C-alpha cells in the first residue's frame, strides 16, 4: 500500500514536469483549433500553432461559436482577422556564393540570432532571458539537441558569450519547468529531446574552465531526476515515464511523452495516420510523440518489420543513444561533485554510470551484427534495424576496442556512401532513413572513431560530408537541414515538411570540421566556375 501511494505521488510530481500553467493553442481555442488544423488552410500545421492571437482567446472563441454555422462563414478570413500569422520562412538575405562558405556561415549566425525577450500575450512561444540561435526555416524557436551542434560552430567562431547565453537559457528552462522541452513552445511542454545539456556545459568548460560544471550542477541534477522519474518504484519488466527496469534489474531509459493526443504542430498528419494503425489511438499518439522526443521523427528504427509508421512502438524500445547520453550525464554530475571535494556523491554517480555502462554492453551489443543496437524491453531482444546511433558508444568510450573494430567494419560496409554516412540502411521514405544523412550523426561518428584511433575512416567521413555540404552550397547558396548522401545530386526527402535551409546544426558541424580537417579537393571559397 505504501509503495502504491509513493508511486501515486511520483505520478503527481511527474505531471508538474509537463505542466507549466500555460495553455497550448488546442486548449485556448477548442473547436476552432481542430477546425483549422483539419481544414488545410495552412499546408504546414505548425503555422497556426505559432500564430499570435490579436485579442483575448475567450472573445475569439465566443465569436467563432456565434458565427461558424451562419451562411457564408469563411474560416480562412476569420483566422486572418483574429491572428497574426507567422511570415513564411523566407528572408531578404541574398547569398554571395563567391564570398565563400565560411563568410556565409558568419552571416547566418546573425540571421539566425534572436534576442532574449518576453513572448506576446497568448502566444505559444515560451520567453527566454538570454540571446539564442534558432535552427532556421519553419523552426522559429530554440530547439534542444539542435543547439549543441550549433554551439560547435559558435565555438569555432569564438562566440563564447552566445554559447553562455544558450546554456543559461537551458538552465532557466530546467529551473522553470523541471526539464528542457523539445522546443520553446507551449505545445512542446510534454516532452524533452536527447539530453545534450551536459555536453553543452562540457563544451563551455573548454573556454571557461571546469568551474562551469559546479555552476550548473543544480540544473544537471534536475535534468537527471526528470529522466529517472519513477525508476525507484519499478518491478522487473515494468516502465514508468522515461525509466525501464530491465530483465536483470538494471534501470535504463526510453523516450516518452506525457500526452497521448495528436501533436498540435502536426495535428492532421497524426489524426490521419491513426486511422491506419491497429493500436489504440492514445498508444499510437504517444509512440509518435516519443519518437519526436528522440529527434528521429520518423524512422524505421521505431517500426516493426513492416516498416510502416502505423506500426510505431517507440515506448517499447530502450535506445542506445539516449542511454549513452545519460551515462555521460551521470559522469558529468560525478565530476562536478569531485571538483567540490564531495567524495560521497562523486562515488554515487560514478557507480550509477558504471552500472549503466555495464547494462548498455549487456543489452545493446549485438555480437551477430557487430553493432550496438536498440533493445526491445518487451520482446527482450535487440531490435532488427541497424541505425547510425550505434556509434554513440564510441563517442562515449563505452565500447571495447574489439567492438570498435567490428563497428568500423560495419560502418565501411553498410553506412559509408559517397556523400557521408546514411542514417539507417533501410529505404522507407521517412526522413531519418536511407538515403538521408544528418550533421549531428556525422559528427558523433567522426568523434567516436577518433576515440578509438580510427583516424583514416574518420577523415574520410569528414571530407565526404564537407564536400557534400560545399557542393550543395555552390549550386544553391544554401546549407540544408539534411542531405542525400547516396545520390548527392538529388535533394534529401521525406519528413512532414519541405526541406529546410538555414541551418543551425549543419552550420555548426561543418565549421567545426572545416577547422579540424584538411579540406576536401574542392574550392571552398569560390564557385566551380572560378
For the annotated catalytic residues, the residue numbers are 297, 481
Cβ-proximal residues to 37 (8 Å cutoff; 6+ apart), any chain: 45, 48, 264, 267, 268
Dump strand ranges (E) for 32-71. 52-53
Half-sphere exposure of 456 (CA within 13 A, CB side): 4
Measured at the alpha carbon of residue 508, what is the angle toward residues 242 and 196, in degrees to the nearest 5? 20
Say how far apart CA 527 and CA 448 lie, in whole Å. Answer: 33
**Closest Cα partner for 144 from 233, 227, 66?**
227
Peptide bond between residue 384 and the one before it cis (omega within 30 degrees of 0): no
| Distance of alpha carbon 470 from the chain centroid | 24
C-alpha closest to that of 135 among 512, 473, 502: 502
Which H, E and C letters describe 267-324, residue by residue? HHHHHHHHCCCCCCHHHHHHHHHHHHHHCCCCCHHHCCCCCCHHHCCHHHEECHHHHH
Residue in the structure block whose three cell numbers are 576496442: 401
- The overall longest dimension of the chain from CA atoms, in Å, is 77
Question: H/E element holding 381?
Answer: strand 381-382
- 3-state secondary structure labels for all residues of 406-437: HHHHHHHHHHEECCEECCECCECCCCCCECEE
Residue 132 phi, psi (nearest 5): -155, 175
501 bridge partner residues: 480
Phi then psi dihedrals of residue 120, to 5 deg: -60, 150
Burial of 521 (0-12, 13-18, 19+ CB in 10 A): exposed
Integer Cα distance of 180 and 163 in angstroms: 16
Q: Which residues lie across from 125 on neighbouring strands?
A: 185
Amino acid at each position: 500500500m505504501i509503495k502504491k501511494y509513493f508511486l501515486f505521488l511520483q505520478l503527481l510530481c511527474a505531471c508538474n514536469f509537463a505542466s507549466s500553467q500555460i495553455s497550448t493553442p488546442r486548449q485556448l481555442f477548442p473547436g476552432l483549433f481542430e477546425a483549422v488544423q483539419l481544414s488545410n488552410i495552412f499546408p504546414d500545421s505548425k503555422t497556426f500553432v505559432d500564430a499570435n492571437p490579436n485579442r483575448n482567446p475567450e472573445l475569439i472563441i465566443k465569436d467563432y461559436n456565434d458565427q461558424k454555422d451562419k451562411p457564408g462563414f469563411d474560416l480562412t478570413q476569420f483566422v486572418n482577422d483574429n491572428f497574426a500569422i507567422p511570415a513564411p520562412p523566407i528572408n531578404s538575405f541574398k547569398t554571395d556564393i563567391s564570398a565563400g562558405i565560411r563568410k556565409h556561415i558568419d552571416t547566418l549566425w546573425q540571421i539566425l540570432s534572436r534576442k532574449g525577450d518576453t513572448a506576446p500575450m497568448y502566444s505559444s512561444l515560451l520567453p527566454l532571458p538570454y540571446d539564442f540561435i534558432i535552427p532556421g526555416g519553419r523552426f522559429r524557436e530554440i530547439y534542444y539537441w539542435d543547439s549543441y551542434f550549433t554551439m560547435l560552430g559558435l565555438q569555432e567562431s569564438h562566440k563564447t558569450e552566445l554559447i553562455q547565453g544558450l546554456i543559461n537559457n537551458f538552465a532557466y528552462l530546467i529551473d522553470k519547468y523541471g526539464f528542457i522541452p523539445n522546443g520553446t513552445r507551449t505545445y512542446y511542454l510534454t516532452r524533452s529531446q536527447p539530453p545534450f545539456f551536459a555536453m553543452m556545459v562540457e563544451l563551455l568548460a573548454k573556454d571557461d574552465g571546469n568551474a562551469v560544471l559546479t555552476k550548473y550542477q543544480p540544473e544537471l541534477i534536475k535534468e537527471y531526476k526528470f529522466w529517472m522519474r519513477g525508476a525507484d518504484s519499478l518491478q522487473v519488466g515494468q516502465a514508468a515515464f522515461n525509466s525501464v527496469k530491465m530483465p536483470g534489474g538494471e534501470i535504463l531509459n526510453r523516450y516518452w511523452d506525457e500526452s497521448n493526443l495528436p501533436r498540435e504542430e502536426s495535428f492532421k498528419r497524426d489524426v490521419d495516420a491513426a486511422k491506419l494503425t491497429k493500436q489504440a489511438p492514445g498508444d499510437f499518439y504517444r509512440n509518435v510523440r516519443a519518437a519526436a522526443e528522440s529527434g528521429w521523427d520518423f524512422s524505421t528504427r521505431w517500426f516493426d518489420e513492416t516498416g510502416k509508421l502505423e506500426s510505431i512502438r517507440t515506448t517499447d524500445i530502450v535506445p542506445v543513444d539516449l542511454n549513452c547520453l545519460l551515462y555521460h550525464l551521470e559522469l558529468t554530475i560525478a565530476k562536478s561533485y569531485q571538483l567540490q571535494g564531495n567524495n560521497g556523491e562523486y562515488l554515487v554517480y560514478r557507480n550509477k554510470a558504471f552500472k549503466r555502462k555495464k547494462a548498455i554492453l549487456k543489452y545493446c551489443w549485438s555480437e551477430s551484427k557487430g553493432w550496438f543496437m536498440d533493445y526491445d524491453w518487451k520482446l527482450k531482444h535487440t531490435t532488427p534495424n541497424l541505425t547510425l546511433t550505434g556509434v554513440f558508444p564510441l563517442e562515449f568510450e563505452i565500447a571495447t576496442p574489439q567492438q570498435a573494430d567490428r563497428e568500423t567494419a560495419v560502418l565501411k560496409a553498410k553506412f559509408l556512401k559517397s556523400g557521408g554516412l546514411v542514417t539507417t540502411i533501410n529505404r522507407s521514405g521517412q526522413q531519418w532513413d536511407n538515403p538521408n544523412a544528418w550533421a549531428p550523426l556525422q559528427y558523433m561518428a567522426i568523434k567516436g572513431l577518433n576515440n578509438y584511433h580510427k583516424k583514416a575512416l574518420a577523415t574520410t567521413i569528414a571530407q565526404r560530408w564537407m564536400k557534400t555540404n560545399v557542393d550543395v552550397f555552390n549550386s544553391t547558396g544554401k546549407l540544408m537541414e539534411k542531405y542525400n548522401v547516396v545520390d548527392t545530386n538529388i535533394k534529401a526527402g521525406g519528413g512532414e515538411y519541405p526541406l529546410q535551409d538555414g541551418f543551425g546544426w549543419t552550420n555548426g558541424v561543418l565549421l567545426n570540421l572545416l577547422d579540424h580537417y584538411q579540406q576536401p579537393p574542392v574550392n571552398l571559397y569560390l564557385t566551380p566556375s572560378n
